[in-house]
Structure 1
């Protein structure tokens, strides 16, 4: 694609976690072509500081609680703490993306901090419609975007790990409707009134 590249950015803070929404599209016109919606978790330098604090705490605790053991035992306990914190960091989600390809389908991507990427492709003819719904738990409530698929009993969640705000979900929902060629005027006006 040799067309123009544009992007929109929205930022949200929830429970101390900063989410950044970036919509990028590359094509000759905004109405056609590939559209990528990315929701990223912004990490700070504090994560490295927290990691070092965990390592030092493991080392000091092993020396304090096991004074009769030698330095090697303390080192083993510290290494265990390091490996546990690295394992926890490796499984954290860094970014989720929905790539809308108008003639082909939708690709859902999850990028972990370990740079492992999970991708799932859904063909357009398999998608009935995208829906925005609200999940209510005893502690919180949040909106989510799901796809209703033909010949499947379950909904397919687009952002499985991150919980973006309604303002971040709406452009993705519109892009999927545009790719499917469905009208959204009445539903969109209802959502804009409630948000």
Structure 2
């Protein structure tokens, strides 16, 4: 039975937790799905269409001027700005005793799965990522023998309030204290 933590009409992300206790193993699935905006998708396709029409006009006209270059750049930036994410949802499946399975589901139906053995994980951390333009939080895994962190959510950038329960479940699963929230 799924347990829904946060999914408002204004939010772009929705968090769902599925927890199953079988006889010999526990499976804990944490999903963060993105809501698809029809308006944003139509604007994205409109921007791409405008860019292609602009390129066609430049090729047929065979005359390149500064106005046409700037027009191409502006239309390309518009298409990139409103481009929708191809990711439908990302999930972390905690297989107690075995490790983690990180899944990325795309709108096209493609699914990318990565498995991380339990012995390779040192600690899950909440990492604050600061860039010149944005600041966001990410869930990362410190792995043995690796010099880089592995991100739990490769494509999506969920808010901190959705990452905290996943981090707590990962920490308690790796410490062997099922049900602990410390």
Unaligned residue ranges in structure 2 (runs of 5+): 62-78
Q: How does 1:61-76 map to 2 (within 5 A)?
A: none
Unaligned residue ranges in structure 1 (runs of 5+): 69-84, 189-195
Between the aligned partners of 1:59 and 1:159, the Cα distance in structure 2 is 33
| Residue of 108, 126, 131 corresponding to 1:132 | 126
How high is the TM-score relative to the length of structure 1? 0.66
Superposed CA RMSD:
3.8
Q: How does 1:1-195 map to 2 (within 5 A)?
A: 5-11=1-7, 18-27=12-21, 33-47=26-40, 49-50=42-43, 53=46, 92-181=86-175, 188=182
- Contact 1:89–1:113 (CA under 8 A) maintained in structure 2: no
Between the aligned partners of 1:137 and 1:60, the Cα distance in structure 2 is 34
**Residues 177 and 41 of structure 1: CA distance in aligned 2, closer, same or farther (over 3 Å):** same
- Contact 1:90–1:113 (CA under 8 A) maintained in structure 2: no
How high is the TM-score relative to the length of structure 2? 0.71
Between the aligned partners of 2:85 and 2:146, the Cα distance in structure 1 is 28
Q: Quick check: 51-60 or 113-122, which moved more?
A: 51-60
Cα offset, 1:137, TM superposition: 1.3
Corresponding pairs, count: 164
Cα offset, 1:49, TM superposition: 3.8
